[in-house]
């Protein structure tokens, strides 16, 4: 099969304005955190309606920075979901705290809000809900529960730039929200992430810790108004974003709504095409939310489907369609199997056997979309 015929699983949309922005940053001679990063932070905070934004070099470092910045450490417990990318759980482990997994809701595939309360102990300090595929968790019940037990809420919004929950943008709801701009995400900077919060002191602290704990960032030292002097106020990390990445972030943010409209079109097209297919359960959606459609995850209905999930993926590939699985449950990985000592999460395990992520990105042509639909229907006929 030629590359032209193959419908790739995911591709970023990089256009002339993105390239021009990055070149401009090269020409300016300012490569690391500087004016473009500050501009991107402001623009992003405004976009999600949060008071503050701190740009970092990945969502993973942003999660670690935020959890550490909120004071989590040895002896603490943090509740999250088994159906996520391992970074959500690993960054909790990095702080010294213990991740506690709570099984998922079979429809939304987000953490099952009804099961969180029974996992709360006197050691629980924070909740890390993950908005899987860009469909938001039930934030009313999560914030209510956090309030009753005095817990911090750090949202893993790697999939949820553009997501709204009951009319509110994800990014201004929890104590802090962390986004990913990894190459496959809805807004890309290659590698990169953003922490948003309404807590000014937390934002200042995160900024400090993102760059060695220096009292003055490079932008305040190397410019004509700057001074050579700095002090180290804390043993910080090296997690800051660069201006090269921020240049890409700025141009991507300008076109985000357009890219999202295309994602919505494709998702609607898939929904219509698969509505009459008994082998397929469509992705969660609801009039209460605005879905970011980072992923289009179908669940095979195993009593109806003629093939199992792995065969389905193989056959898609034979027909020139890339796909993926989000996610292998965290406790299935060799390290985490041992860490969680054989714990079981039956809903996540059952759902995992049936999920497939179909291609969904703005760069897909109508023809690509039709080819995916045709391939899926042929395999499941
Ligand atoms: C991609 C992803 C991350 C990690 O993002 P990076 O920017 O690559 O560090 C974290 N959580 C989830 C749910 C993700 O999908």
Ligand 1 atom closest to 87 (CA): 10
Ligand 1 atom closest to 326 (CA): 15
Position 34 scores a pLDDT of 92
C-alpha 275/C-alpha 345 separation (Å) is 29
Instruction: Take residue 344 and report the two structure tokens written for it.
Output: 């079981």
Share of the chain above pLDDT 90, in %: 91
Distance set, CA 191 to CA 10, 28, 58, 268, 329 (Å): 16, 21, 6, 29, 24
Closest residue to atom 8 of ligand 1, CA basis: 182
Ligand 1 atom closest to 185 (CA): 1
Q: Could you tell which of 10, 56, 57, 60 is best to mutate to test the pocket of ligand 1, judged by most ligand atoms within 8 Å of the CB?
A: 60
Ligand 1 atom closest to 130 (CA): 13
User: Ligand 1 centre and the CA of 190: distance in Å?
Assistant: 12
C-alpha 138/C-alpha 101 separation (Å) is 17
| CA distance from start to end of the chain | 23
pLDDT at residue 306 above 90?
no
Position 121 scores a pLDDT of 98
Q: Are 287 and 314 in contact (CB under 8 A)?
A: no
User: Ligand 1 centre and the CA of 115: distance in Å?
Assistant: 24
Q: What is the mean pLDDT of residues 317-345?
A: 96
* pLDDT classification of 1: cutoffs 50, 70, 90: low
Position 226 scores a pLDDT of 75
- Ranges assigned E (strand) in the chain: 52-56, 77-80, 98-101, 124-127, 152-156, 164-165, 168-169, 176-180, 193-197, 280-281, 289-290, 296-300, 355-358
- Residues 6+ away with beta carbon under 8 Å from 130: 80, 81, 83, 84, 88, 110, 111, 137, 155, 156, 158, 159
Active site residues: 185
C-alpha 204/C-alpha 113 separation (Å) is 31
User: Ligand 1 centre and the CA of 192: distance in Å?
Assistant: 10
Q: What is the mean pLDDT of residues 28-52?
A: 96
Position 219 scores a pLDDT of 66
Q: What is the mean pLDDT of residues 106-115?
A: 98
Arithmetic mean of pLDDT over the chain: 95
Position 303 scores a pLDDT of 87
Q: What is the mean pLDDT of residues 290-306?
A: 94
pLDDT digits (tens, 9 = 90+) for 198-241: 999 999 999 999 999 998 766 676 777 777 888 899 999 999 99
Question: In a 3-state reduction of DSSP, which class is residue 321?
Answer: strand
Position 218 scores a pLDDT of 64
**More confident site: 50 or 230:** 50
Q: Could you tell which of 55, 63, 90, 156 is best to mutate to test the pocket of ligand 1, judged by most ligand atoms within 8 Å of the CB?
A: 156
Q: Which DSSP helix (H) or strand (E) runs through 366?
A: helix 366-380
DSSP state of 284: P
pLDDT at residue 84 above 60?
yes
Q: Are 311 and 69 in contact (CB under 8 A)?
A: no
Share of the chain above pLDDT 70, in %: 98
Q: Could you tell which of 58, 85, 324 is best to mutate to test the pocket of ligand 1, judged by most ligand atoms within 8 Å of the CB?
A: 85
* pLDDT classification of 259: cutoffs 50, 70, 90: very high
* Residue ranges lining ligand 1, Cβ < 6 Å: 58-60, 84-85, 87-88, 130, 156, 158-159, 180, 182, 193
Within 10 angstroms of residue 359's Cβ, the number of other Cβ atoms is: 23
Closest residue to atom 2 of ligand 1, CA basis: 158
Question: In a 3-state reduction of DSSP, which class is residue 155?
Answer: strand
pLDDT at residue 19 above 90?
yes
Position 217 scores a pLDDT of 67
User: Ligand 1 centre and the CA of 92: distance in Å?
Assistant: 14
pLDDT at residue 3 above 70?
no
Q: What is the mean pLDDT of residues 329-334?
A: 97
pLDDT at residue 73 above 70?
yes
Ligand 1 atom closest to 191 (CA): 7
User: Ligand 1 centre and the CA of 233: distance in Å?
Assistant: 29
User: Ligand 1 centre and the CA of 229: distance in Å?
Assistant: 36
Position 225 scores a pLDDT of 72
- Helices 243-254, 16-28: axis angle to 10 degrees equals 150
Position 5 scores a pLDDT of 83
């Amino acid at each position: 099969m030629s590359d032209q015929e193959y419908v790739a699983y995911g591709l970023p949309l990089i256009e002339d304005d993105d390239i021009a922005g990055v070149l401009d940053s090269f020409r300016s001679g300012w490569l690391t955190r500087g004016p473009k990063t500050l501009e991107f932070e402001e623009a992003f905070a405004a976009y999600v309606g949060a008071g503050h934004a701190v740009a970092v070099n990945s969502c993973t470092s942003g999660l670690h920075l935020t959890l550490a910045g909120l004071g989590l450490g040895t002896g603490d417990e943090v509740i999250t979901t088994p159906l996520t990318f391992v970074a959500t759980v690993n960054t909790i482990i990095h702080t010294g705290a213990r991740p506690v997994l709570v099984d998922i809701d079979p429809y939304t595939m987000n953490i099952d809000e009804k099961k969180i309360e029974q996992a709360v102990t006197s050691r629980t300090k924070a909740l890390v809900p993950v908005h899987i595929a860009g469909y938001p968790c039930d934030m009313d019940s999560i914030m209510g529960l956090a309030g009753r037990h005095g817990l911090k809420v750090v949202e893993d919004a790697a999939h949820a730039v553009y997501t709204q929950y009951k009319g509110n943008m994800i990014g201004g709801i929890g104590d802090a929200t962390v986004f990913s701009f990894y190459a496959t995400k809805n807004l890309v900077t290659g590698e990169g992430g953003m922490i948003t919060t309404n807590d000014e002191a937390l934002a200042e602290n995160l900024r400090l810790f993102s760059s060695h704990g220096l009292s003055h960032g490079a932008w305040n030292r190397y410019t004509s108004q700057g001074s050579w002097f700095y002090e180290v106020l804390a043993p910080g990390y090296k997690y800051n974003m660069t201006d090269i990445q921020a240049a890409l972030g700025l141009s991507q943010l300008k076109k985000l709504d357009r890219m999202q409209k295309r994602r919505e079109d494709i998702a609607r097209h898939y929904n219509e095409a698969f509505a009459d297919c008994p082998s397929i359960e469509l992705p969660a959606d609801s009039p209460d939310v605005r879905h970011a459609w980072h992923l289009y995850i179908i669940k095979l209905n195993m009593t109806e489907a003629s093939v199992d999930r792995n065969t389905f993926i193989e056959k898609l590939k034979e027909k020139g369609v890339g796909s993926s699985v989000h996610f292998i449950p965290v406790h299935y990985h060799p390290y985490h199997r041992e860490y969680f000592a054989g714990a079981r999460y039956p809903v996540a395990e059952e759902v995992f056997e049936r999920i497939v992520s179909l291609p969904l990105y703005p760069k897909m042509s109508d023809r690509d979309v039709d080819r995916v639909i045709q391939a899926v229907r042929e395999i499941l006929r």
